[in-house]
Structure 1
Amino acid sequence: MILVTGGTGFVGSAVLARLAEDGVTPVRAAVRSAGSHIPPGIDKIVVGALAHNTDWRAALTGVSALVHCAARVHAMDDSAANPLEEFRRVNVQGMLALAEQAAAAGVRRFVFVSFIKVNGEMTAADKPFTADDAPAPVDAYGVSKMEAEQGLRALASRSGMQVVIVRPPLVYGKGVKANFAALMHWLARGTLPLGAIHNRRSLVALDNLVDLIVTCVRHPQAVGQTFLVSDGQDPSTTELLQRMGRPARLIPVPAACLTFGASLLGKRAVAQRLCGSLQVDIDKTRRLLGWIPPLTPDQGLQKAAKGTVRETCV
């Protein structure tokens, strides 16, 4: 039995769909409420919120592998009075309570979907993050993911449960929200001053991330490892937008001017994400697992555009 948490989320729902498509059985989805929709043929169990006192015993019965996608996610406009404590409450305390119960229930493998913010926020051009770099999170979300990873590794060492950690960068695909959806919306509706950005950004198509997660559930060389994942190419923001099919709507404004103007408007962080570099090195992932991204970036963007632009513009 494979248990997937966060089964109604962006990544979790895609993992369930992939397992159903592959004919993997049995599969169980842990969800917050009885009204949650999951693919046909998937067992559903309601566990409520991800908290330190959540009882996972029923969900863990008969489970041999667990894919943990549930989390309190990062948001640019987080309104919590103490964001770090809120992230820790769910992403650290809630997750580790689940992991402890999983180990006690005899779960053999725990695949944890972390995030590249554990490595840091930005990279110098052509100096990508690697899976074995020392963690250097900057914001509360990244700190919570780092602490969750540390807790999992400690649990693995004393319990024998096999832990695998996957750190994706920005994930895009059909139904994506947040920053990527906003970019696609802006490009569809108007002209952007992003025609002269020469950074390097690693991204990962949802299908590519899910393929790696499923690989990590099964592969013997994944045990005890941390893997970075991407599409295998690092386009600039300008190249990314051009691949979306609207190059005529990009005005070549220098990145320094954009950053300065955004700072005056209190949007410096947004400009840094658009103009700065964040590259990941997936050589370890390729080498240990023999993994190759099944979708090219162009294929991934085409799939994302078919669902996202339609949903954004209605």
Structure 2
Amino acid sequence: MLAAGEPTRLLVRNDNIDLPTDIAVADLRDEAAVRKSLIGITAIVHIASSFRAWSPQELTDTDIAGTEMLANAALDAGITKFVYTSTNLVYDGCDYGRPATEDDPVGTDLFGYPSAKAEAERRLRTLHQTRGLDLRIVRLPFVYGDGDPHVTDAVRLVADWPAHQRMTTGHHADVGQALLRALRAEGIAGRTYNLSDDAPMTIFEIFQLHGIELPERAESADRSVEARPWLHTVSTARIRRELGFRPLYPTVASAAEAGAL
């Protein structure tokens, strides 16, 4: 957004950020500080999450209650345009016999993080219907990019997955352009968009490209994924058709070749 010349205010938990933009310091659990930070704002791109802590209470306080409070505070301040970053993991455990679409029901037995995202989506849709929130939801894949510790962190998160399991991915640059497209588009209030690059890769290939060695897991190597070949894959037909999204990095391999890891 800064590179595009968008006037931007960052709402952050601390001010040790060296960027040429307006900085507001607040925790999403501090309603008074959040409301103060919204003065003069015309739209919100909400990417905050208690992603790494994964504490049930922190997810409830930040991802669910904090998101709902932010949206209500925005509406009270006359701000209606609200882009929310959710996750493709809301489809976790579901197998639709094809890539998941935005109209498919989400999983009912989700673990903490996607469960919190699914509940936040539900509450935001209620505000869209009852208070006119101009909501745009973008469901992110496994995100990676230059220097992102997310990839290293994921070794423990996918420890029980077979190395030949495919996973949808998206580079930082493509997440950025997708959120900008969702922000700028007209007439899409209430719409949800899956985001992914063009070709899911196996966990083994993704970690190999990042120079990360997966632990040996003989039991998972024998696990077949052929019975559920569409697991963890999503359709991006809607975001391509309605927002004109095309990935700058169609695969993790293309990002590696471009030196963008």
TM-score, with normalisation over the residues of structure 2? 0.82
CA distance in 2, matches of 1:147, 1:58: 26
Match of 2:13 among 2, 10, 32: 32
- Give the secondary-structure state (helix, strand or coil) at the position aligned to 1:204: strand
Moved over 4 A (4+): 121-124
Task: Please tell me the root mean square deviation across aligned C-alpha atoms, in Å.
Answer: 3.2
Q: 1:21 to 1:299 in 2, by over 3 A?
A: farther
Match of 2:103 among 121, 132, 136: 132
Q: Which residue of 2 aligns with 1:23?
A: 5
Distance apart, 1:222 and its partner CA: 3.2
Q: Which runs of 5+ in 1 are unaligned?
A: 1-18, 185-193, 263-274, 306-314
Please list, as runs of the form range in 1=range in 2, the aligned pairs for 1:1-314 lying within 5 A after superposition: 19-24=1-6, 26-33=7-14, 35-40=15-20, 42-47=21-26, 49-51=27-29, 53-74=31-52, 78=54, 80=55, 83=56, 85-121=57-93, 123=95, 127-136=98-107, 137-178=109-150, 180-181=151-152, 197-241=163-207, 244=209, 257-259=218-220, 277-297=231-251, 298-301=253-256, 302-305=258-261
Deviations 1:160-197 (A, max 9, x none): 1200111111100012114x22579xxxxxxxxx9x95
How many aligned residue pairs are there? Answer: 248
TM-score, with normalisation over the residues of structure 1? 0.70
Structure with greater helix percent: 1
CA distance in 1, matches of 2:230, 2:173: 25
- Give the secondary-structure state (helix, strand or coil) at the position aligned to 2:24: strand
Rg comparison, structure with higher value: 1
Q: Which runs of 5+ in 2 are unaligned?
A: 156-160, 224-228
Distance apart, 1:291 and its partner CA: 1.5
